[in-house]
Amino acid sequence: MASLVGLSQAPETLYLILKHLDSNDLFSLLLTCKSLYPTCYCELWSALGFEGPNPINPTRRTVPVKGYTRFRDAIDTFGADNLGFKYTKFLGLGASIFRNRDRSLDLGKKLVGLLKTGKLAPSVADVRFNPWDIPQEFTRETYQVLAGLKKYSETKSPENLSISLRTELVYTIPRLFDLEKITTYEVGLSFYHRGKNRSWSTPDSPNNTGNHILELKTLLGGMTNLKHFSWNMNFRTPHRDAFLIEKFTTEFDELQEVFTKMQYLESLALLDCLFHPSFFLIPPKTVKKLEYGGNLSNIWWRRFAKYSFTGVEDLFIRAIETSKECSMTAFLPPDSFEDVNTLLLGEVAITGLKKCTLGLCGGWSSFRPLDLGECIIQKNKHLEHSISDATAENRAQMLVCRAYSRISGKLLNYGSLITHKYTSKFVESAPGDGSRFDEQIKEECTQILLHGSKPVDLEDWKAGRSRAKEFAQGCRFELQNKLSTCIDMVLDDYALRLASGEDLDRSSFEETCFRMFSTGPTLEDVSKLTEARNQASRAVSDCLNRFRVSLNNKDDKEQFIKKYKEKDFQIRDAEIESAVDQWTRKMIKNIEEREESGDPPLMMEDISDNSL
């Protein structure tokens, strides 16, 4: 093993070791061995970051907000010349540098002074901030750090300075940065409320989308040395504004032209659709790493399948995030819509991949073509080992999730049918224990889940109940008005009778209202029917709840996924029904085994993970 002194005489080996140490370990090593002091000191100062991860070396600690005062005081006490700024090659500027509460420390002003005098001369800068970190009206004080960085960058060539920018801003970027020095631009737009967004020069709305496309086009056109571009949209409104892509054909063509002309772009990450789920952006031929995500239309996927992606070596298709799930129908003409989850591509044109990653979908829907993984493997045989497992797992996950969804639907929809049937039984039976029909209800639930309801089909019951709800909605309004009128009339009558000294109570008031409202069943009959329905509803709900608990057994779900992962199948209706039948029988077996053991039935609140 080499001695510490020996390492100091082998700078290349020492550097390889030091770059893996965090700041605390570096400082300890600096104090341990005098011969390593110069090298460790240079390495400690090589990266200077303020609130935010350091992309060059994630183990290096950045200066936290609470340390700003001490850092400023150190500059005042020792002087910039006596600190290690001359060794700093990386400068990281997080959002706190720009905020009002932290600007009062004048740390930004000191950094600007160091940049201006050349005492701080980084070759890499990483800037991260959000629109709310910069006031709407820019002043010298609010963006002095960015202004100082821009002036500094204008004195450097693209070979000597590289800027990475992560923000939500688009339209103000040319004012704040020297565009030709930006090599990484990651833009993530968050739409909190419709019409209120500071990323663009105009609010977010379909009417302004064309202007936004052109703003992005103009900005990217100025980033002539861009190597990495990432796009993401985070919607926090119930739905996103929809429009047909044909409305902005010219704007999309101009945006495509800018990307086509890019000479240095190496990686492209479109983590959501680029303005529209059907707009397929052709990447420049220089791109080697490509990443897609979000909710994309069937039109987009067919264009993806036909494009060869010359030069792309690393493809990553992410699983869709729940927040990005939305209907495609409003974005597409009615005659061109297809469900992506049932879409079969047949084949893809992409070849030459060295690496491919398919994100594992966690919901009941994959939001991508069924045969995507198989098609990629077909044209890139050497990737079979690396992505076939993910493809099989995705397919098994989709099958199990759809089977789960189908069983859940049965439990939900059959509940009202069984409740209706047993309401009459509770009415006809003598009052007693509410659990007297439990075994019959359990047997009926079991048979219905396995074989369906006879003679009424589930779909017919759902359709009939939907129509009956329409009748009930109109009827409820009319009857409520009539009942309110009756109550008002009885109220006045009772007021007069009570004023005359009659001995009346609430029970007689209700009976009088009911007689006036209808000549039908008595109040006693209605009360009995209501109580019977409540009893039936509770009994059926308790029974179905046991089935739901069994359905949400995490071990069963994982066993089914493992089983289908090892099978070769297509996600068709017959395969889903087979999975439904097997899962249902396993649910019933779980319930019966628990009853035979004498254990009390589990309720939904007793299980820790009841979701897929």
Higher pLDDT residue, 419 or 455? 419
Q: Where exactly are the structural domains of the chain?
A: 401-606
Side-chain-side CA neighbours of residue 501 (13 Å): 0
Q: Residue 192 has what pLDDT? A: 52
Closest CA to 115 of 139, 141, 93, 140: 93
Closest CA to 226 of 184, 177, 282: 184
Are the C-beta atoms of residues 46 and 38 closer than 8 Å to each other? no
Average pLDDT, rounded, for the chain: 80
> What single-letter amino acid sits at 243?
F
Q: What is the mean pLDDT of residues 564-576?
A: 77
For the cut 70, the answer to whether the pLDDT of residue 607 exceeds it is: no
Are the C-beta atoms of residues 486 and 516 closer than 8 Å to each other? yes
Is 358 buried (19+), middle (13-18) or exposed (0-12) by CB count in 10 A? buried
Q: Residue 219 has what pLDDT? A: 97
Q: How confident is the model at residue 128 (pLDDT cuts 50, 70, 90)?
A: confident
Higher pLDDT residue, 542 or 193? 542
Higher pLDDT residue, 215 or 387? 215
CA 517 to chain CA centroid, nearest Å: 53
Higher pLDDT residue, 5 or 165? 165
For the cut 70, the answer to whether the pLDDT of residue 567 exceeds it is: yes
Task: Write out pLDDT tens, residues 50-62.
Answer: 875 444 455 565 7
Q: Residue 203 has what pLDDT? A: 75
* Structure tokens given for 602: 């589990």
Side-chain-side CA neighbours of residue 314 (13 Å): 9
185: enclosing H helix or E strand:
strand 182-191
For the chain, the C-alpha Rg in angstroms (whole number) is 34
Q: How confident is the model at residue 33 (pLDDT cuts 50, 70, 90)?
A: confident
Q: What is the mean pLDDT of residues 22-32?
A: 77
* Structure tokens given for 242: 């929809």
Name the percent of the chain lying above pLDDT 90. Answer: 25
For the cut 80, the answer to whether the pLDDT of residue 598 exceeds it is: no
Q: What is the mean pLDDT of residues 460-482?
A: 75
Query: How many angstroms separate the CA atoms of 416 and 440, rounded?
Result: 16
For the cut 70, the answer to whether the pLDDT of residue 500 exceeds it is: yes
* Structure tokens given for 476: 């409820």
For the cut 80, the answer to whether the pLDDT of residue 352 exceeds it is: yes
Q: Which of 98-102, 302-306, 423-427 has the highest mean pLDDT?
A: 302-306
Q: Partners of 267 in the beta sheet?
A: 228, 289
Higher pLDDT residue, 287 or 555? 287
Is 442 buried (19+), middle (13-18) or exposed (0-12) by CB count in 10 A? buried
Residues 6+ apart with CB under 8 A from 148: 108, 111, 112, 115, 116
Q: How confident is the model at residue 220 (pLDDT cuts 50, 70, 90)?
A: very high
Q: Residue 259 has what pLDDT? A: 98
Task: Write out pLDDT tens, residues 378-412.
Answer: 999 888 777 777 777 777 777 787 788 788 888 88
Q: What is the mean pLDDT of residues 281-308?
A: 95
Q: What is the mean pLDDT of residues 200-218?
A: 86
Query: How many angstroms separate the CA atoms of 286 and 66, rounded?
Result: 43
Q: Residue 324 has what pLDDT? A: 65
Q: Residue 103 has what pLDDT? A: 57
Are the C-beta atoms of residues 36 and 49 closer than 8 Å to each other? no
Place of tokens 């009939």: 464
Q: How confident is the model at residue 3 (pLDDT cuts 50, 70, 90)?
A: low
Query: How many angstroms separate the CA atoms of 445 and 547, rounded?
Result: 9
For the cut 80, the answer to whether the pLDDT of residue 145 exceeds it is: yes
For the cut 60, the answer to whether the pLDDT of residue 586 exceeds it is: yes
Higher pLDDT residue, 315 or 479? 315
Q: Which of 20-29, 128-137, 265-274, 413-422 has the highest mean pLDDT?
A: 265-274
For the cut 90, the answer to whether the pLDDT of residue 339 exceeds it is: no
Q: Which of 106-120, 250-264, 344-358, 510-524 has the lowest mean pLDDT?
A: 510-524
For the cut 60, the answer to whether the pLDDT of residue 317 exceeds it is: yes
Q: How confident is the model at residue 4 (pLDDT cuts 50, 70, 90)?
A: low
Task: Write out pLDDT tens, residues 247-272.
Answer: 999 999 999 999 999 999 999 999 98
Residue 203: cis peptide before it, omega within 30 degrees of 0: no
Q: What is the mean pLDDT of residues 334-341?
A: 74
Higher pLDDT residue, 507 or 602? 507
Q: Residue 184 has what pLDDT? A: 97
Q: Residue 604 has what pLDDT? A: 52
Query: How many angstroms separate the CA atoms of 252 and 216, rounded?
Result: 11
Q: How confident is the model at residue 132 (pLDDT cuts 50, 70, 90)?
A: low
Q: Residue 609 has what pLDDT? A: 40
User: What single string gives the DSSP state of each residue in 135-149?
Assistant: -SS--TTTTHHHHHH
